[in-house]
Amino acid sequence: MEAGEVAVKIENLTKYYGQEKILDSITLTVKQGEAVGIAGPNGAGKSTLLRIIAGLEPPTQGKVIVRGRVGYVPQEVILLPWRTLRGNILLAAKLRKIPRHRAEEVIRWGARLLGLEEYLNKRPYQVSGGTRRKTQILMALATDPEILLLDEPFTGLDRDTITALQKAIDRMRRSENLTIIIVSHMIDEILPIVDKLYILTHKPARIKEILE
Amino acid sequence: MVFGVTSRKPPILVVTAATYPILLSNLLAAVRAVDDQYMILARSLGATKLQELTYFILPGIVPYLAGASRAAIGIALRISVVAEAFGASGGVGYWLVYSYDYGYREGVFAWAWILIILMIALDLLILKPIERWSTKWKLEK
């Protein structure tokens, strides 16, 4: 996929949970290599939108077109406690049928970039929340994605870790030509690393404003 | 076999009958208790049903099964001693009842002590370490 081509296209997306309307006629386009932020209050439906883009939930109405492999980083850090951090990352790559040597390569540069090298052989309960979150991001990267979906990647992290992670995400995006969609309830955290910011209203979420 | 039973069938049948219900009920409870989050992760990584079972469910239920196995083996041992007492021609249970029947008091106490020491040793030296090893990640989580 070439830069400038459409990577994600969402048209009139509406989502209901039972009778409750969560997303209302969302339309947005993300081009290849672009970093897009989606901000809005807690409970607005940002995570639902991201899960629909990731293909984990179906939309009630509307169309979602995703061109390229998707790497999804959920809001809750989910790592298998019986595996080391390296074991978790390699499992993600294996399930996505990424060759072992390619996964090892991603672990090498990704761990250096994210400052994870010394923790790779530890288990999730032996490391900090920030390290676990970085591992989750590296897990998604090991699946060789073209589109990276990050759900509240800075939640629960201290200022220094947030700054380091922002830099790492920005560098990864440029070096791997990734398309990135980041969802957060805190605009300040995502503003420095996105090209375009969509602001959603509270339930049902509609696009209120687009900042470029 | 450790207890000197001459036929292999009775202890196998007794152990199976005693442990099967405990292991089955714990297995079902363990599968239900596997964190839903692991399934979200599995799905987000495109895991097949077989991969979900192999990489996410089975390792997740090992700690529950290890605990259940420890309890089940303890029960099975007690039952097999009783079974030996009434239906075997060897083993601790048989010799205990044999000593009792012939009024050999020292023999009764000796076999009772052997039984107690064997059960404690089995639990502390084998079953408990296995349980601790298999649940290490769960305890330290």
Q: Is residue B94 part of a domain?
A: yes
User: B91 CB contacts (<8 Å, ≥6 apart)?
Assistant: B3, B4, B5, B80, B81, B84
Place of tokens 């099964």: B65
Lowest mean pLDDT among A52-61, A156-165, B5-14, B94-103: B5-14
Written as one string, the DSSP assignment of B5-66 is -S-SHHHHHHHHHHHHHHHHHHHHHHHHHS-HHHHHHHHHTT--HHHIIIIIIHHHHHHHHH
Residue A202 has pLDDT above 70, yes or no: yes
What single-letter DSSP state applies at residue A161? H
B66 touches B78 (CB < 8 A): no
How many whole angstroms separate alpha carbon A105 and alpha carbon A198?
A: 34
Q: Using pLDDT thresholds of 50, 70 and 90, give the confidence band for residue A100.
A: very high
Nearest Cα residue in chain B from A122: B137
Residue A43 has pLDDT above 80, yes or no: no
Determine the average pLDDT of the residues in A131-136: 89
Determine the average pLDDT of the residues in A46-67: 89
Lowest mean pLDDT among A123-127, A189-193, A205-209, B36-40: A205-209
The pLDDT value given to residue B79: 80
A176 touches A102 (CB < 8 A): no
Q: Using pLDDT thresholds of 50, 70 and 90, give the confidence band for residue A205.
A: low
A136 touches A77 (CB < 8 A): yes
Percent of chain A with pLDDT over 90: 17
| Contact flag A96-B45 (C-beta cutoff 8 Å) | yes
Lowest mean pLDDT among A21-30, A141-150, A156-165: A156-165
- Return the structure tokens found at A117: 């090298």
Mean pLDDT of chain B: 79
Percent of chain B with pLDDT over 70: 87
Q: Give chain B positions within 8 Å (CB) of A81.
A: 137-138, 141
The pLDDT value given to residue A1: 56
Lowest mean pLDDT among A207-211, B11-15, B71-75: A207-211
Residue B3 has pLDDT above 80, yes or no: no
Q: Give chain A positions within 8 Å (CB) of B54.
A: none
Domain coordinates of chain A in residue numbers? 1-68+146-156+165-212, 77-145
Q: Which of B41, B46, B59 sits opposite A96 (nearest CB)?
A: B46
Residue B40 has pLDDT above 90, yes or no: no
Q: Is residue B51 part of a domain?
A: yes
CATH code: domain of residue B44: 1.10.3720.10
Lowest mean pLDDT among A46-55, B38-47, B88-97: B88-97
Number of domains in chain B: 1
Q: Amino acid letter at A87?
A: G
Mean pLDDT of chain A: 85
| Contact flag A143-B45 (C-beta cutoff 8 Å) | yes
User: A156 CB contacts (<8 Å, ≥6 apart)?
Assistant: A129, A133
Residue B6 has pLDDT above 60, yes or no: no
Phi, psi at A89, each rounded to 5°: -65, -45
The pLDDT value given to residue B1: 45
The pLDDT value given to residue A5: 86
Q: Amino acid letter at A166?
A: Q
Tell me which CATH code domain A1-68+146-156+165-212 carries.
Answer: 3.40.50.300
Q: Using pLDDT thresholds of 50, 70 and 90, give the confidence band for residue B141.
A: low
Q: Is residue B3 part of a domain?
A: no
Domain extent at residue B106: 9-140
Q: Is residue B115 part of a domain?
A: yes
Q: Which of B37, B40, B55 sits opposite A91 (nearest CB)?
A: B55
Q: Is residue B4 part of a domain?
A: no
Angle, helix A85-95 to helix A129-141, in steps of 10 degrees: 30
Q: When comparing pLDDT for B122 and B11, which is higher?
A: B122
Lowest mean pLDDT among A79-83, A164-168, A204-208, B29-33: A204-208
To probe the interface with B, which of A78, A123, A135 has the most B CB atoms within 10 Å? A78
B141 touches B129 (CB < 8 A): no
Q: Is B86 on the interface with A (CB under 8 A)?
A: no
Q: Which of B37, B62, B140 sits opposite A125 (nearest CB)?
A: B140
Q: Is residue B35 part of a domain?
A: yes
Q: A150 in the Ramachandran plot: left (φ > 0), alpha (ψ -120 to 50) or beta?
A: beta
Q: Is residue B1 part of a domain?
A: no
The pLDDT value given to residue B51: 92
Place of tokens 């408990």: B128
Q: Which of A54, A95, A123 sits opposite B47 (nearest CB)?
A: A95
What pLDDT digit, counting tens, does each position of A183-198 carry? 988 888 888 888 888 8
